[in-house]
Structure 1
Amino acid sequence: MIRQTNYHLILKQLLLSVFSFFIISCNTTHPYTLPDHNKLATAYYQEDRQWYLDNIPFFECSDKQIEQTYYYRWKLYKAHIRNVGDSRYVITEFINHMPWDREPFCTINAASMHHIYEGRWLKDNRYMDGYTNYLFQDGGNDRKYSESVADAAYARYLVNADATFVTKHLDSMKYSYEHWNDHWDSTKNLYYIPAMPDATEYTIASIDASGGKDGFEGGEAFRPTINSYMYGNAMAISHIAALKGDKSVSNDYLQKAVALKNTIEKSLWNDSLGHFTDRFKVNNQYVRYWDFIRGRELAGMAPWYFSLPADTKKFNAAWKHVIDTTYLLGKYGLRTNEPAYEYYFKQFVYFEGQRGSQWNGPSWPYQTSQVITAMANLLNHYKQDVVTNTDYLHLLRQYTKQHFLPNGNLNLVENYDPNLGGPIVYYYWSNHYNHSSYNNLIISGLCGLRPSTGDTLEINPLIDESIDYFYLSDIRYHGHTLTLIYDKDGNRYKAGKGLTVFIDNKKADVTHSQGTYKVFVGAPVLIPPVKQASNVALNVHRKGYPLPTASVNALADTSIYQAIDGKIWYFPEITNRWTTVGSTSHTDWLAIDFGKPFEISSAKIYPFADGNTFAAPDDFTIEYQKGEQWIPVKLTPDKPVKLIGNTGNTIGFKKITATAMRITFKHELKQVAISEIEYY
C-alpha cells in the first residue's frame, strides 16, 4: 500500500534530501569522492543542463563510451517528449512527422513499450503519466502494430509504486487486450500477425510467403513476438487487477497468461532448430499452413523479454545462437536472422536510391534492446550456463558503438550492418531515432537495479573485470532517492570495495548472497503530481488558433507552426524551428494570436544556436496587442535579460490580459532560429 503524504511532509522530505545530498557531496565533511552532478550536466548538456538535473539519474562509468551514450540517449529521449496541451505529453518515435504517424500527435504505438521502460526512470511523473493516459484513454494505442504496453505500464509501476494511477487504466487495458482477438486462432490457441504490423517488414515468413519476390507485407504467421507480448500484457493485467482487489479479473488473466505460455512452449518451439520460431498461418503455393519457417530469427528470443520460458536446459540452449557469430551475432551487432537463410541480406526495397528498411539480417536497435533486456532477465531469473555477464557487456558494447556515426558524432538511426558496421538507413527521417531502449539496460542491467513490489530491493550488477567502477545517483525509486556505487578496488569513490548503496542519502546496510545484493528501501512514498500551467501558445493541429504570423517565413505551409508545436530539440541534422533566414532586416518579429483573451505573465523562448548560421538574438522585446497598438510588457527581472541558445529562457513580466503577443528579435551578425515559444 502507498503511504499517503501531505504537501508539508513532502516539502520537508525534499528539503532534507537536498540538504543530505549537499552533505554527502562535500568532500570536507566525509571521505567519499563523488561526482558533481552539475559538472556532469554542464559537460554533457551545456546551457540546457537544468532539465536534466531535474529529471535524470546521473551515471558515471569506467567505460566512457557507455557513459557518453547514456547521456546522449537522455538527450535523444528529451527531444521526443512532446507537449500536447494541459499537462498532456506523448513520446514520439520518429523525431519529425511521418505519413504513418497517428495524427495529430505524430505517435506510433510500435515502440511504446521501449518508451515507457526508458521513461519510467525520469523523476517528473508528468511525462509518463501523460503518455500512459494517451495510450489507454485517448486511443494512442491504436493497435496499428503489435505491442506490450500493459506490461510496460506495470513495469513503470514497479518503479514509482503508484497503484492508484496504474489501476485506473485496468478497464482500458482489458479492452485493448480483448480487441486483439481479431488476431487470435482458436484452433491453435495462438495469435498471428503479418510482418509489417509486427513492426518487422521483410522477415523470413513474409519473404518466403511471396516466393522470395517481396515481403514488405503479408506472411501471416504465429510468431513468438506477438504471442509473448500478449503473455506479458496478460500477466500485467493480472497483477494490476490484484492491486485493485479484483480477484476475478486477476485470476482470469493469469489463466490466459499460463495457457498462452504453455502453448508457446509447446507449439512455437522448433526442436530441429533449437529455437522459438514462426509457424505459417499462410497456405499458398510457396508455404504451407502450420509449417515452421526455415531459419532462426532474433525474434525467437522475445519470450525471455517477459521471462516466459521455463528454466530448462532445452530452452536456455537457444541463447547460444545469440552469442555465436555463425548464427545471430555479427561482428558489429546482432543480426535479425541468420546468414544461412537463402534471402539473408537480399535487398528488396530502396528509398531515394539507397537501401531501405528490412529485417532479413540488418541489426535493429529495436530488437537489439529487446534481446539485451531479455538476456538481463535470463541472467537474473534463470539457472543456466550458456551466457555470462561478459556476454551481456559484449552485446551492450556492440550496441553502444552503433550510436556513433563514422565521423564520431552520436546519432542513433534506424538500422545497421552487423557484418561491415555502420548505418544502413541513414537519411533525413531516421536521425535520432527513438525506436529502442538503452538507459534501462544501464540502470536495470549493468547497474543491476531490479524493480519489484517489495520493500527490499535486489541489485545484481551485470559486470565483469572490465568494469572498474560505476556511479548511478539520484534515482527515484518507490518515492525514495537511491545512489548506487560500484568500486572494484575502493580507490575511485573512497566508499569501500564493491557495491555501496545510499537510500535518501544515508548509507544503507547491504547483504550479499550468490552474486545478488539486497537492501531494505522501506515503504513507498507517493509524491502527488504538480499541476502545470497550460501553454496557451500551443497549436498541435497546425490550423485555427493560436495563429502564428511573422515578419519573414510566415506562410502556413512553412516552418512557422514549428515554433508552437510542442516539439523542442537542438539537433543540427534535423530541423523543427522558425528562422529569420532570408530576412533583409536586422529585426524580425513572431506574433501569436490566441483567438481569445488570456491572462499571461511569462514567456518561454527556446532559441537554436549552432555557432555558425544561428545564434541567440542580440536583443528582444515582448509586446501585447491592445486595439491597434503593440505595447511592451513590464519585465519583472531587476536586470536586463539576455537570451541563451539551446535551452528554455523563462521571461517573467507583470500580468496582462492579451489576445495576441509579439516578440521582436534583433540579429546583427547571425540569423535567429526559434525552436519553440510558449506563453503562460
Structure 2
Amino acid sequence: MPPTPQPVKSLAPEPGPSISRRIALALCAVVTHLSAHSASAAASGPLDERAILADRFGADAPWYAGNIPLFEASDRTIEEVYYYRWKVFRAHQRDLGPDGYITTEFLDDVSWQRQPFASLNDATAFHIHEGRWLRDRRYVHDYIDFMYDGGGNDRHFSEPIAAAVYDNFLVDLDRPAALRHLDAMKHVYRLWDDHFDFDKGLYWIEPLADATEYTIASIDASGGKDGFTGGQAFRPSINGYMYANARAIARLSALAGDEKDAGMFDARADALRGRVVDSLWNDKLGHFVDRYKVDNAFVHYWGPIRGRELVGYLPWTFELAPDDATRAAAWAHLLSPAELGGKAGPRTVEPSYPNYLRQFRYDWQTGLRECQWNGPSWPFQTTQALTGLANLLHDYHQSVVGRADYLRLLHQYAALHFQDGRLDLEEDYDPDTGRPIVGLPRSHHYNHSGFADLIITGLAGLHPRADDVLEVDPLVPADPPGAAYFALQDAPYHGHLVTIVFDATGARYHRGPGLFLYADGRLLAHADRLSHLTAHLPSRPAAPIIRRLDLAMNLVGDDYPRPSASTNNDPASLHQSLDGRVWFFSDVANGWTTAGSTAVENWFAVDFGRPTAISAAELYFGGDARAFAAPGAYRIEVLRNGRWVEPRQVSYSPAVENGATNLQWVQTVASAIRVVMKSAPGRAVRLVEFKVF
C-alpha cells in the first residue's frame, strides 16, 4: 500500500471552475475530438456525427465517434433504442488488461458466470454480431480470442459461436483472424459428441444448459412440479447451433485450403439438416418442436412436446429450414394474437399450454420472480426469431409474412426497452402488457440479445458476403413505403465505410426520392424506390487493431495492482474502480466514492507492486443530478523514492462526468500513482474506473 500522504499543496486552479464552466469545457473537448471525424461523415452521408453523438452520449461521445454507424429513421422509437443499445454494448465491455476485452451479459456479477472474468458463452454470438459493426475491431477480436484461447467457450451453454466468427469475417474479411482458432473450433465441435445421439442423428440437451429453463420439455418431464432442471430433449436450438457451426467450420476450412475437413463438416451439416427437417417438424402443430430424450412416468423418449415454442423458428435463424410452403406456414403462428404473437412481444410458449406463465421459481434473496421461458417475451429469442424472419424475407419464397410484419415486430421489440419513458432493457416481459416480469437488481441493462444487427442487416438490409459484391435489400415495404426515410451511415464493410439512405419523397435528405447506396462517400447505386441493390466493391485490407494495455486493471481484487484511498476503503468498491468495467447507468452503482467524507481533498491510489513505466491515464467519473459530480479540480501524482510528486509536463484535460478524462505526461517510472481530488460544492466524487498506460 502506498504510504499515508503528507499534506499536499492546494489543488489548482482555486477555487476551481464552476460546475457550469466545467460542463462547457467538457462539451468543448468533446466537439474538438469529434471534429476529426466530421469530414468523413459529411462526405459519406447526411447525418451530423458531432451533433448526434454529443446529444446521445454527452461527455462519453468520443468512444462512439468514428466507431459506431450512425442511424436515423422516421420511426423514432427504433432510432432511440438503436443508440441506447450501443450504450448497453459499451457498458458491457470489460477490459482484462493483457487478456484484452470481453463482453459481459450482466453488469453485476452472478453466481453462474465464469470466474473471475464474469463471462458467459450463451449470448456471445449476439455480442459478436453487434460488435462486428464497430470500426474499432479490437472488441470483437479480443473477445473471440478469449473464447477460444482463454477458455471462454467452456460449453456452459449451447452456442453458435463458430458461426458468429464466420459472420464477423464476412464484414471485415480478416482472413488470418478468422482462421486463427479453426483448430479450436473443430475441437469444441467434436466435444459436443457427448450430446449426440448417433442412432437418431440429432443433438440433445437439457433446457437449462440450452439457456431456456422452464420450457415445455422440462416442466412436463417433472410432471408439472418444476422445470428448472431435467427435460433433456432433441431441440431445434442446439441442432440449429450445431448445424450453423458445422457449416461455418466447413467454409473456414475451405478458406484455409483444407478441402478434406471442409467436405467432412459440410457433410455433417447436410446430415443434421436432413434429420432436423425429418424428425423435429411436427405436422400436427405445423412447427419445429422438441422430441424427448428422457423417458419417465410423465414423458417418453422420442415423443414430441405438446405445444409450440418460439424456439421453433431457429431453423430459419441459421437457414437450415427448407424453402417450401409447408414449413413457411409456421410463421403464421407468430402473427396470431392467440398463439405466439403477444400484444407487446413474441411469446416463448403459446397460451394454450396449461403451464403458460405459471410461476415456479422465485429469487431466494428478494422473493421476486425468477426467469422462466414458459411464455414470457424474451429479448434473447425475440432476436433469434427476428433474424430468422429477416432470412425468410431475404432468401425464401413465401407469402405468409411480409416486410411490414418485420417492421412491426421490430418496432414492438424496440418499445419493450422503455419503462415509463425510461430506457432499461430487462430480462423478460409480460407479452401482453410489456411490463418486466423478473425485475431483479441484476436485470437492468441486460446484454443477452441483439438489436443493432437487426437494424443494419434487417431494416437497412446490408447483406454481408465473402465476394466483392455489396448487396442491400432493406426490409421495409415499398408499397406504400413502410418508412418515410432512414439512413445508416458509415458502417464498416470490407475495408470501406458504407452508407445507405432512403428518402420516400426526397424532402428529408434533399438528394431526390429513393434508395441510395454509397461507399466512402461515392454513390454506387440508386433506385427511385425501395428495392434490392447490388454494386461492385473490391475489398480493402482490414484496419489494423491497436491494443493499448491498461496497467492498473485488477481482475481478482486481492493482487497487484492494489487500490487504496483516503476514505471509504471498502475492498469491493475499491476494486470496482480497477476492474476493467466502465458504465454510467445511475441505477446500477459502479466504482469507489468519496460519499460521507468531510475532507477538503480526497485521493485514490494504485500500487503497482513494482516500478512501472507510465505516461498516461484515463479517469472515469460518474455523475448524476443529485449526489455525484466530477471533481472541481484534480491532479495526478506518482510515488518515487517514497515521495508523492507530480510527473513532469502533465497535460490535463477538464474533468468530465460520465465520460473519459484524459491526461498524459513525460514517461516516468513509479511504483504507485494516485489522483488527488477536490469535490464540487455539495457533491461527492464517484470514480468509476482508473486506467493507467
Same-fold status (TM-score > 0.5): yes
Q: Which amino acid aligns with 1:408?
A: G
433, 449, 469: which one aligns with 1:436 = 449
What is aligned with 2:625?
611
Matched length? 652
Q: Distance in 2 between matches of 1:323 and 1:138?
A: 42
Answering whether residue 478 of structure 2 is matched by residue 470 of structure 1, we say: no
2:692 equivalent to 1:679: yes
Q: Is the 8 A contact 1:62 1:467 kept in 2?
A: yes
1:492 aligns with 508
Q: Deviations over 1:36-56 (max 9, x none)?
A: 111000110011111111310
Relative to structure 1, is the Cα distance of residues 22 and 266 closer, same or farther in structure 2, using a 3 angstrom cutoff?
closer
Displacement of 1:525 after TM fit?
Answer: 2.6
Deviation for aligned residue 1:654: 2.1
Aligned to 1:669: 682
SS of 2:589's equivalent in the other structure is coil
1:370 aligned to 2:389?
no
Letter in structure 1 aligned against 2:406:
Y
Question: Partner of 2:403 in structure 1?
Answer: 389
Instruction: Determine if the alignment matches structure 1 residue 247 to structure 2 residue 250.
Output: no
1:361 matches 2:378: no
2:11 alignment counterpart:
none
In structure 2, distance between residues paired with 1:657 and 1:21: 39
Partner of residue 505, structure 1: 521
Per-residue CA distance 1:170-223 (angstroms, 9 max, x = gap)? 101001100001101111110000110000010000000000000001000000
User: What are the ranges of 5 or more consecutive residues in structure 1 without an aligned counterpart?
Assistant: 1-16, 26-31
State yes or no: 1:518 paired with 2:534.
Answer: yes
Q: Deviations over 1:32-74 (max 9, x none)?
A: 8x22111000110011111111310000111111100000000
Distance 1:41 1:514 in 2: 28
In the TM superposition, residue 524 of structure 1 has moved relative to its aligned partner by 3.4
Q: Do the aligned partners of 1:87 and 1:126 also contact (CA within 8 Å) in 2?
A: no
CA RMSD of aligned residues (A): 1.5
**Against the structure 1 CA distance between its residues 353 and 18, is the aligned structure 2 distance closer, same or farther, given a 3 Å change threshold?**
closer
Structure 2 gap ranges (5+): 1-35
| Structure 2 residue 439 is matched with structure 1 residue 420 | no
Q: Whole-Å Cα distance in 2 between the matches of residues 73 and 43 of structure 1?
A: 15
Picking from 646, 653, 656, the partner of 1:632 is 646
248-257 vs 454-463, which moves further: 454-463
Which residue is 2:280 aligned to?
A: 268
Match of 1:588 among 590, 602, 615: 602
Q: 1:56 aligns with which of 22, 46, 68?
A: 68
Q: Is the 8 A contact 2:525 2:533 kept in 1?
A: no
Instruction: Single out whichever of 474-483 and 508-517 deviates more from structure 2.
Output: 508-517
CA contact (8 A) 1:511 1:519 kept: no
Match of 1:166 among 166, 170, 178: 178
Q: Tell me the distance in 2 between the aligned counterparts of 1:382 and 1:90.
A: 35
Change (3 A) 1:574 1:169: same
Native 8 Å contact 1:512 1:518 kept in 2? no
Post-superposition offset of 1:421: 2.0
Counterparts of residues 96-495 of structure 1 (less than 5 Å): 96-351=108-363, 352-405=366-419, 407-464=420-477, 465-495=481-511
Is the Cα contact below 8 Å between 2:144 and 2:165 reproduced in 1? yes
Deviation at 1:87, TM superposition (A): 6.3
Contact 1:511/1:518 (CA < 8 Å) preserved in 2?
Answer: no
State the secondary structure of the residue aligned to 2:275: helix
> TM-score, structure 2 length as denominator?
0.92
How far apart are 1:313 and its partner, in Å? 0.7
Q: CA deviation at 1:655?
A: 1.7
- Asked whether the 8 Å contact 1:510–1:519 carries over to 2, the reply is no
Which residue in the other structure is 1:68 paired with?
Answer: 80
AA aligned to 2:427 is E
CA contact (8 A) 2:486 2:501 kept: yes
Match of 2:563 in 1: 548
The answer for the alignment partner of 1:14 in structure 2 is none
Q: What letter corresponds to residue 564 of structure 2 in structure 1?
A: T
Describe the shift of the 1:19–1:416 C-alpha distance in structure 2 as closer, same or farther (beyond 3 A).
closer
Q: CA deviation at 1:103?
A: 1.1
Q: Which amino acid in 2 is paired with 1:470?
A: F
Which residue type is aligned with residue 415 of structure 2? K
The equivalent residue for 2:26 is none
Quick one: distance in 2 between partners of 1:245 and 1:453?
Answer: 16
Superimposed CA distance per residue, residues 577-606 of structure 1 (whole angstroms, 9 cap, x where no aligned partner): 110112121211111110111111111100
Return closer, same or farther for 1:112/1:356 CA change in 2, 3 Å cut-off.
same
Q: For residue 220 of structure 2, what is the amino acid of its counterpart?
A: D
- Matching residue's letter, 1:409: R
Counterpart-to-counterpart distance in 2, 1:534 and 1:314: 54
Q: Distance in 2 between matches of 1:100 and 1:328?
A: 30
What amino acid sits opposite 1:565 in the alignment? Answer: D
Query: What amino acid does structure 1 have at the position aligned with 2:43?
Result: I
Cα contact 2:47–2:489 (8 A) shared by 1: no
Q: CA deviation at 1:513?
A: 11
Tell me: CA distance 1:251–1:109, structure 2 relative to 1, closer, same or farther (3 Å).
Answer: same
User: Alpha-carbon deviation of 1:19?
Assistant: 8.8
Tell me which residue corresponds to 2:554: 539
Give every structure 1 segment of 4 or more consecutive aligned residues whose post-TM-superposition deviation is greater than 4 Å: 17-20, 510-514
Conserved 8 A contact 2:583-2:590: yes
Structure 2 partner of 1:650: 662
Q: 1:18 Cα shift?
A: 6.3
Deviations 1:9-31 (A, max 9, x none): xxxxxxxx969636637xxxxxx
Q: Residue deviations 1:515-557, cap 9 Å, x none?
A: 4111222233322222x2321111011121001011112132x
Aligned residues with identical type, % of pairs: 44
Distance 1:319 1:22, change over 3 A: closer
Q: Secondary structure at the match of 1:350?
A: coil
Decide whether the 8 Å contact of 1:564 with 1:676 is kept in 2: yes
Give per-residue Cα distances to partners, 1:268-316, cap 9 Å, x unaligned. Answer: 0001111000000110000111000000000100110111111011111
Alpha-carbon offset, residue 426 of structure 1: 1.2
Taking a change above 3 Å as real, the CA distance of residues 267 and 514 of structure 1, as seen in their structure-2 partners, is farther
How far is 1:631 from its partner?
A: 1.1
> 1:510 Cα deviation (Å)?
4.4
User: Could you tell me which residue of structure 2 aligns to residue 28 of structure 1?
Assistant: none
8 Å CA contact 1:86–1:533 kept in 2: the answer is no
Cα shift readout 1:382-406 (whole Å, capped 9, x = no counterpart): 000000001101110110010001x
